[in-house]
Structure 1
Amino acid sequence: MSAKLRANAAQIVAQVAYKGHSLTQLLDEYRQKSQYSAADASLLQALCFGTLRFYPKWQALINDALKKPMKSSDGDIQALIALGMFQLLESRVPAHAAISETVSACKILKKTWAKGLINAILRRLQREPEWPAQLLASQPWAEHAFPKWIWKRLNNDWPEEADEIMRASNIQGPMTLRVNTLQTSVSDYQQTLKDNDINCQAHNLATDALILQQPLSVEKLPGFFEGKVSVQDAAAQMAARLLQFDQLAQRSEIRVLDACSAPGGKTGHLLETAQHYFKPEQIHCVALDKDADRLQKVADNLKRLNLSAQLIVADAAEVTSWWDGKPFDRILIDAPCSGTGVIRRHPDIKLLRRNTDIAELVNTQRSILQALWPLLADGGLLAYATCSVFKEENEQQIDWFLQHHPNAVELEISYEKPLSAKYGWQIPPAWNDMDGFYYAVLQKNATT
């Protein structure tokens, strides 16, 4: 692993930690402009993900080691120190290489003045293994590698389970596939993977899911570009089942709304599931997103799957700008949220989210729920979903909604409840190999 690769990783981490940029977007940009080999691109990603996964812990140690705060222009040096700490404490990189190559990266960053500083801090970490434990004993949020505000919210919402939620969030989730059962069966595709020396296992709740033993690029998945399979976490795959398309099987046509559809994973699964009961021409599916670029990803995914929907660039809450006046039989609201249930896949959420974001997100979620409820047909189902583990975005949101909408009835979700919620189904990260997720299913009673 070269000093250049470490320097690039530090630049990426610094842009996430101190400028609020998306890790996924930055990695894509660096891969393109740096012309890394596949192996080096994988190493770059592993360094960035690993460093950011534990960044609050590294920041606490850095703050303790420095006599005075660094200049804001030296965020790359702080990120480089964190990178070295990650290699020493959380990776298999030999200590001598972790230290020497990290120090050498200073030259590439054109900050040779920092060589001595970085060398001293990393060697202290190597020489004094008790240092982190002693320091972090008084900072339990940093010990768990979480921002203090998330740590406080989790302990307030889930006092008995908070530690396990944070522990699970610091472990990378598995790569999970969704088999397109319009093209092949789960068992047949599992055999296809086995024939290609790809090990996997079926999921015990998400019936279309296969969990890979080791992640791999989609190019290596048989039939991926022909639409036989998609990459989607098992928790996200539950949305299509919860909307109970089988209960509409006697209908001549159905109308379905995916209100916040990008990048289109759930849209595709809704259509795959519905087509087991209806012909394509009997299904009118509307997929919304207010971001045109993200909606293009929905179009690309549906094209690969040989599925179709009416795609509309619009804010779901601004109904008059896009609705044709005809009610929907099924509505999915995969609401904008804090993303705290998917930190294991997106560790930059720890640094990009702020406590002040939550109130704004709750208001957005509420406005979408309020706006779309009148669009649901009598007897229809609305599934509300988030990838959050905060009660304010989930069960408390549904509690408020039910109090203000007497024609809304919560339907019981019959799966095991790993966390006790007043309303809905709260899934913690890593339970049943799932991401942290929340679902509530509401049925609309006829108004009198």
Structure 2
Amino acid sequence: MTRSAFSRRTSPKAGAARFSMLHLAPDSLGFALDAAAQAVGAVRAGMALPAALAAVLASAGAGNAALARGAIQDIAYRALRRLGTGDWLVTQLVRKAPPAHVGNVLVCAFALLADDEHAAAYAPYTVVDQAVTAIAARRECAFAKGLVNAVLRTFLREREAWLEKAESDPVAAWNYPAWWIEAVRRAWPDAWQRVLAAGDAPGPLTLRVNARRTTTADYLQLLDAQGIEAVAIGPHAVKLAAAVPVERIPGFAQGVVSVQDAGAQCAGEWLGARDGMRVLDACAAPGGKTGHVLEMADVELVALEADPARAKRIDENLSRLGLTAKVVVGDAGDPSQWHDGRPFDRVLADVPCSASGIVRRHPDVRWLRRATDIPALVAEQHRILDALWPLVAPGGELLYVTCSLFPEEGEEQAQWFERVHEDAVRLDAPGQLMPFCSGAAAERSASSSTGTRAFDLERGGADIDHDGFFYARFQKR
């Protein structure tokens, strides 16, 4: 997955966050609601959700974390996908702003109660009871247990009416910051509703089949024999009908498959590396695309990563696959730190970006990102591309990749690059891949759509269920 700057944007307040666990049964909903609310609070303070969840689970202790992990993660992700709705409901139903943790517990409870009862993860009365229990068990918040009980019961009595009222507020209706909604609307005026709705639907579990170990057809037969429903959605991409833990994925531990979105798999396919080539994977962590390139060709590959901790993950992933690369720690925008002077036949420039195309998997991104981040990211992308282009051998190619939906980081960048580098010839590439919208999100957006399918913006328009990416390919004269 494209490394994005948001993963390292941790404010001092977020970095100093402290998490404490309640003396409740770790397998109870109350325990999970409290822990998820702490994670939501950490995201509000600037911490990426994976880091927040890791910190919360560490505070819970190994035994408790094992019991509560799934529920805590599920609730936190649901809450951030519906944070606009949840915050709006709190402001409407609570006369005076409650303490931050109380508000976050309410947001987590609303995320569970917003589903129709037949599709809900928990019975409504259980959510209310356990939210009150969680508040009552925390000494500094216990005074608010009556408030939480009254607010949630009021919402349940008039659930449909409240959710209908929320549709009148853009942030509450779409669950993105106002600037993000406007940016998508400006970029995709005929399809913006579908683009936003697609980001609110959880992404599927997609695997990449290791071409060195088996074929996609044979792996599908293996899954079928084990009762796991799946379908091929790309040359090496297999989408599971339902997510399963990685330890239950046949062949995962042995490197037969990896978890990777179908849109991200386009990088390895469009890079066009062939046996004997010298390849640079810039901004390579955690190594998904690195592994894919090595699965497809025998190349001399340099995997570059600026963050030493993240660079270790490249080695870990390659070890599972039984593959090797030269992993180098260094700044892609400053080759003098690490480049040995030898040119590359292929360069994969998977640059830091807004991550706006992967919000269905990372719902915290939309709340962490600021409008002012985009110009800074565009400048960083310029810096990296300018630094990498001289490393490409004559006749070699550079593949520019972002997991963004914003044209400033996509087509506008490609046009800028072609304009300022006279020796760059733009070749065919996927261009802008829009996220696939399915299920309830698709139904929700259909009623308000202009009728233009967002996915027709793709070349070919195939609904293969992937995140949003941009690809541009250039050859050096």
- Normalised to the residue count of structure 1, the TM-score between the two structures is 0.89
What do residues 187-240 of structure 1 show as CA deviations (whole Å, max 9, x unaligned)?
22222222222111111xx20111111111111122222211111011111111
Runs of 4+ in 1 over 6 A off after TM superposition: 414-420, 427-430
Note if contact 2:431-2:472 (Cα within 8 Å) is conserved in structure 1. Answer: no
Note if contact 1:165-1:428 (Cα within 8 Å) is conserved in structure 2. Answer: no
Once the two structures are TM-superposed, the CA of residue 124 in structure 1 deviates from its matched residue by 1.9
Matches within 5 A, 1:395-406: 395-406=411-422
SS of residue in 1 equivalent to 2:388: helix
The one of 226, 230, 235 equivalent to 1:200 is: 230
Q: Percent identity among equivalent residues?
A: 38
Partners of 1:429 and 1:64 in 2: CA distance: 41
Partners of 2:462 and 2:108 in 1: CA distance: 26
Between stretches 128-137 and 226-235, larger displacement belongs to: 128-137
Partners of 2:88 and 2:138 in 1: CA distance: 23
- 1:52 maps to a residue whose letter is L
The match for 1:215 is 243
The match for 1:279 is none
Structure 2, unpaired ranges of 5+: 1-27, 436-451
User: Is 1:3 aligned to residue 30 of structure 2?
Assistant: yes
Once the two structures are TM-superposed, the CA of residue 431 in structure 1 deviates from its matched residue by 4.2
Partners of 1:48 and 1:431 in 2: CA distance: 28
The one of 408, 417, 432 equivalent to 1:392 is: 408
Note if contact 2:255-2:320 (Cα within 8 Å) is conserved in structure 1. Answer: yes
SS of residue in 2 equivalent to 1:123: helix
Matches within 5 A, 1:293-442: 293-413=309-429, 431-442=463-474
Note if contact 1:172-1:345 (Cα within 8 Å) is conserved in structure 2. Answer: yes
The match for 1:84 is 109
- 2:123 maps to a residue whose letter is P
The match for 1:278 is none
The match for 1:96 is 125
- Normalised to the residue count of structure 2, the TM-score between the two structures is 0.84
Partners of 2:362 and 2:392 in 1: CA distance: 33
Higher relative contact order (CA 8 A, sep 6+): 2
The match for 2:447 is none
Note if contact 2:253-2:320 (Cα within 8 Å) is conserved in structure 1. Answer: yes
What do residues 14-67 of structure 1 show as CA deviations (whole Å, max 9, x unaligned)?
1112x1112112223333442236563211111111111110121122123333
Partners of 1:7 and 1:429 in 2: CA distance: 43
Once the two structures are TM-superposed, the CA of residue 394 in structure 1 deviates from its matched residue by 0.7
Note if contact 1:429-1:435 (Cα within 8 Å) is conserved in structure 2. Answer: no
What do residues 245-268 of structure 1 show as CA deviations (whole Å, max 9, x unaligned)?
3xx56xxx3110000100000000
The match for 2:10 is none
The match for 1:280 is none
Partners of 1:434 and 1:412 in 2: CA distance: 20
The match for 1:189 is 219
SS of residue in 1 equivalent to 2:73: helix
Partners of 1:348 and 1:334 in 2: CA distance: 21
SS of residue in 1 equivalent to 2:289: helix
Partners of 2:200 and 2:86 in 1: CA distance: 14
User: Is 1:27 aligned to residue 53 of structure 2?
Assistant: yes
Over 3 Å counting, the alpha-carbon distance change for 1:418 and 1:102 in structure 2 is closer
User: Is 1:176 aligned to residue 206 of structure 2?
Assistant: yes
Once the two structures are TM-superposed, the CA of residue 384 in structure 1 deviates from its matched residue by 0.6
Matches within 5 A, 1:64-75: 64-70=92-98, 74-75=99-100
- 1:356 maps to a residue whose letter is T
The match for 2:277 is 254
